[in-house]
A = this chain, B = another copy of it.
Amino acid sequence: MLKELQEEKVFKDPVHNSIYVQDLTIWKLINTPEFQRLRRIRQLGTSYLTFHGAEHSRFSHSLGVYEITRKIISQFERNRYADWPQEEKLLSLCASLLHDVGHGPFSHSLEEIFHIDHEQWTCEVILGDTGINQILRQVDPQFPEKVASVIRKKYEKPIVVSLVSSQLDADRMDYLLRDAYFTGVNYGTFDIDRILRMLRPYKGKIVVKESGMHAVEDYLMSRYQMYWQVYFHPVTRSSEIILRQIFRRASELHGEGYEFGFMLPPIRELLEGSITLHQYLKLDEAMLQTVFGQWSDERDELLSDLCRRFLNRQLYKYAELESEDKNWLESIRHEWQEIGLNPDYHMEFDTPMDSPYAIYKPGALPDSKEKPPILLLNEHEQLTEISVKSDIIRSIAGLHRGKYYIYYPEERVLPHVEKLSLETRKKLSI
C-alpha cells in the first residue's frame, strides 16, 4: 500500500532537525491546497502578542506530529513487536499528518463564538470534495473513511487511535516542544528521544516501559508549566477576549441588519452560520487580520475600537482576583454603566483551569476528553497506571488549579476612578 518515493524528501525543522517523507501519498497530501492553507493559521493563535516568537503555523506542527508518529512506528518495526499491526502504518501516518486540517483561524476563540468543531471539519475535509480526499481515495476507496474514523477515535483497532490521541501522544509531544522553542521559554523541554525509545505496543495500547517513568514525569511537569506560563498567560487571554468580542459584535450587527463598510463572502456566511466547506477553506488568519484592518474604520464604534485594539495590541488590562465573587461581579456591572462603559464588552471575567494529569476521570480539560491514563509496563509484563508508581505524578494528579481574572479597558476606567466603590478599586489595584 505504501508507495515509496524515489528519493526521500527532507524538511528542515528546528524542533526535530529533519522531517523525513518516504511515502508518495504523504508527499502528495502535503502539497494539497488544503494542507498548505495551514501555513496561514498560527499554532498558538494570538500568543504571538505575548511571545513575539510564537508565529509558527499549524503547518509546521502537523509535519512535526507526522514525524514523531513515523519515528514511533519505525522503532516498533525495527524491534518487530508482535503487538503492532504493521499494515496500519500508512493509516497512522495520514491520520497524524491530517489531524488538525480542519482548524480555522484563531481556532479556539472562533469555535467558542460560532460553535465550530474542528474535529468535525477535519472529517469533512477528509471526506468532502477536496484535494486531500482525492489523494486518499487513490490508496483505496475506503481509505478516507478509515482516516476519518481514526480522527473520530472510532477506528476498529484502538492501538492506532491510541497512537494519535492519548495523554502521551505525538500531538502533545510536538506542541510542547515546538511552542517552547518558538516562544523561547525553557519549560517545555523534555527528553523526547528517551520517551520514544520507551514506548511499546501492548495489547491494543501504547504503553511505556517502566524505566522511562522519570522521563514521563518530566514531560508532565513540562506540560504543567507550559499551561501556566504560556497557554494561560493573561496577556494572551486578553487578546482572545478582544477577538471573541469582535466576532460577538459583528454577529450582533449582522443580526440587526447593519450594513458593513467592508465584507468578504466567507465572513458573511460565517456570521450567518451557513458556511460551506469550500468557503470554510478560504478562511485564514491573513483574511481575518485584513478584515479587522478594514473594520478599524467602521461606523460602529464598538467594533472599530475592538479591531484597532487587536491590530495595534492595545489590549485590556487585567487584575487577578482571589475567587469568583458573584455579588461583586454583579455590582461592578452597575458601576461600569454609571461611568459610561458597556458592561457586556468593557469587562470580562475569565477562569482558566488545568489539571496536570488526569488519572481516572479525565473529563476536566477540553483537550483531555476521554484520553486514557498513561500505563507503565514492567519486565514481568505487568501494567500499572503511572501515578501508582510515581510519587511525583501522584502528588500533582489531584490538583485542579484555577485562577480568576477580570479584564477591562484601563484608559477608559482611570479617569473615573473616584466614582468607583472601594471594593472595586482594591480588587483592580487602582
Contacts and interface: CB of A to CB of B under 8 A. Distances in A.
Contacts of A311: 33, 36
Contact of A396 (B10, B290, B395): B395
A285 interface: yes
- Specify the main secondary structure of chain A where it touches its partner: helix
Interface in A41-83: 48-49, 51-53, 55-57, 59-60, 63
A47 to B, nearest CB: 11
Nearest to A379: B429
Nearest to A398: B395
Contacts of A229: 214
Q: Which 5 A-B pairs have the closest CB atoms?
A: A14-B184, A395-B395, A286-B289, A290-B290, A286-B286
A370 B230 CA distance: 36
Nearest to A282: B293
Contacts of A312: 31-33, 36
Contact of A293 (B36, B55, B287): B287
B401 A396 contact: no
Nearest to A34: B312
B14 A193 contact: no
Nearest to A62: B52
A421 interface: no
Given A31-B314, A36-B311, A396-B396, 15 more contacts: A12-B184, A13-B184, A15-B184, A33-B308, A39-B49, A52-B63, A55-B55, A55-B60, A187-B214, A218-B221, A221-B392, A264-B290, A290-B290, A391-B401, A392-B396
A365 interface: no
A181 B14 CA distance: 7
A10 B182 CA distance: 17
A287 to B, nearest CB: 5
A256 to B, nearest CB: 26
Contact of A224 (B36, B181, B228, B392): B392
A120 interface: no
Interface of A: 10-15, 17-18, 31-33, 36, 39-40, 48-49, 51-53, 55-57, 59-60, 63, 181-187, 189-191, 193-194, 197, 214, 217-218, 221, 224-225, 228-229, 264, 282, 284-287, 289-290, 293-294, 308, 311-314, 391-392, 395-396, 399, 401
7 contacts: A36-B311, A186-B191, A214-B225, A224-B392, A264-B290, A286-B290, A395-B399
Contacts of A217: 225
A353 to B, nearest CB: 13
A56 B53 contact: yes
Given A33-B311, A290-B290, A57 B63 contact: no
Contact of A218 (B11, B14, B225): B225
A17 B193 contact: yes
Given A53-B14, A57-B55, A395-B399, A40 B221 contact: no
A384 to B, nearest CB: 14
A73 to B, nearest CB: 15
A370 to B, nearest CB: 25
Nearest to A50: B12
Contacts of A285: 286
A189 to B, nearest CB: 7
A202 to B, nearest CB: 17
